[in-house]
Homo-oligomer: A and B are copies of this chain.
């Protein structure tokens, strides 16, 4: 029997701690595109040696959250417009499916929670806080998709978010909006009505709206 004396906190493995903290920072847009990182710098920052730093970086690079030049230099990805269009298309494909699978399981408590999160999104927008906006926006989507009971699909969607993190920050950083996202309200309305085609359209619109701002 495993008594698990410290069940609350996470794994004590150093590389995993470094990985999770770096991943969160990247996904939330804490780092701008092309931002350089060093193994020794990461190690110093998180109080570990180069070895776990290297493993965390390697893992993030495998997920597309970091890029490594031919000489091994580490930086956050600076995406081309074509790459952004692709990633947006992937988001549309995967997240529409996730939303569709979540719809039959979406009960009232979930919908109310989504509304609460969406209020936080509105606050972040009002305060011009790009990182808070990205974080709460992703929390909105993840909360919905968790109901789909499709962990592999959710992992894929999060991988796409991760790749877009730095770019999203740059994108929303130069955007000056004042109103909360309109499509979130459409998503919530479609969930209430059990309207699957409407839900698919609303999710697709929400996911690709950022693209239009950039390319258009």
Contacts and interface: CB of A to CB of B under 8 A. Distances in A.
Interface in A49-66: 54-55, 58-64
The number of times this chain is found in the oligomer is 2
A94 B97 CA distance: 11
Contact of A58 (B59, B152, B153): B59
Contact of A94 (B54, B93, B152): B93
Interface string A82-98: 01001101100110010
Using C-beta atoms within 8 Å of the partner chain, give the interface range for chain A. Answer: 20 to 34
Contacts of A94: 90, 93
B86 A150 contact: yes
Interface string A141-157: 00000000011110110
B153 A156 contact: no
Interface of A: 54-55, 58-64, 83, 86-87, 89-90, 93-94, 97, 150-153, 155-156, 159, 163
